[in-house]
Amino acid sequence: MSLNIVLIAGSSRANSQSAKVAAFLGQRLQALDICSAPRLIDLGRAPLPLWPADDLNGVWADHAQVLREADGVVVLAPEWHGMAAPAVKNLFMFAGYKELGHKPALLVGISSGQGGAYPLSELRASSYKNNRVCYLPEHLIVRYVETVMNSSESQNSDDLRIRQRADWTLEMLGHYAQAMLPLRGLIAMDNAEFANGM
């Protein structure tokens, strides 16, 4: 299966740990033959203006086009003070159903310590409403992120374990994306009366 998978590194910091993990997961998508050329939206290198923006023909236009072409997405959400980082929340203010509607998404929490779960709960609770992204029931949390996914080979048992779980969740995303391809053609999303979720 060769799907179009987009990874969203949700940190506003350049050279972030979220971007590092996104690069690692992109390599795994290729190695697992799920996606031959994963695409990356790195909000630390190509940040969006705060929504609502007057000019949507700049960075957002590029991000929107990439998302429209996606069969599935991986959303990497760093935990800042127990919350989802502002950059990734802001992206969901821009994104609508044309970009994400009825597309499977794997949530990946990023934490420098033992946390990482709260941003995923936050995004599950509120980020899907108007864009209709479909979060997988499974997710991935990369804890102590500075110590894992730093080289081609795992460095210890914790590093090996998270790599194995990453492969498992990426394969699940691939199956969901393949199964949901025909679904989007069956659902009419152009009714202005129901453009937003309830």
The superfamily CATH assigns to domain 5-194 is: Flavodoxin domain (3.40.50.360)
Separation of CA 173 from chain center: 11
Judge if pTM exceeds 0.75: yes
Digit-coded pLDDT (tens) for 137-174:
999 999 999 999 999 999 999 999 999 999 999 999 99
Q: When comparing pLDDT for 184 and 177, which is higher?
A: 177
For residue 94 the two structure tokens come to 């821009």
pLDDT of residue 55: 63
pLDDT of residue 185: 87
- What is the rounded average pLDDT of the residues 38-61? 87
For residue 126 the two structure tokens come to 């509120």
